[in-house]
Amino acid sequence: KAKEKVEAEIAQILGPRWVSRVVATTLAGEQPADLRLSFAVTKSARAKLEEELFGKRILFSDKSPEQADC
């Protein structure tokens, strides 16, 4: 496959909102036979994501409990 097509596939794989924040990729080479993909998980980004997804969140609402039950 051409490098552009491989890059497009990588972008699609990393498409979900959090994946590209955590996984860093590098595609080396120009010819299909020479293409090499390197990837790594960024530890600081992963830690931040874990805190964001699994940390505590407080939701505020201007509705009374009676209104919320409707």
Mean pLDDT computed over 36-48 = 92
Mean pLDDT computed over 46-57 = 78
The DSSP element (H or E) to which 9 belongs, if any, is: helix 3-13
pLDDT value at residue 70: 58
Q: Residues 53, 46: contact at Cβ < 8 Å?
A: no
pLDDT value at residue 12: 93
Q: What is the domain partition of the chain in residue ranges?
A: 3-68
68 pLDDT above the threshold of 90: no
pLDDT value at residue 25: 95
pLDDT value at residue 40: 94
pLDDT digits (tens, 9 = 90+) for 21-31: 899 999 999 99
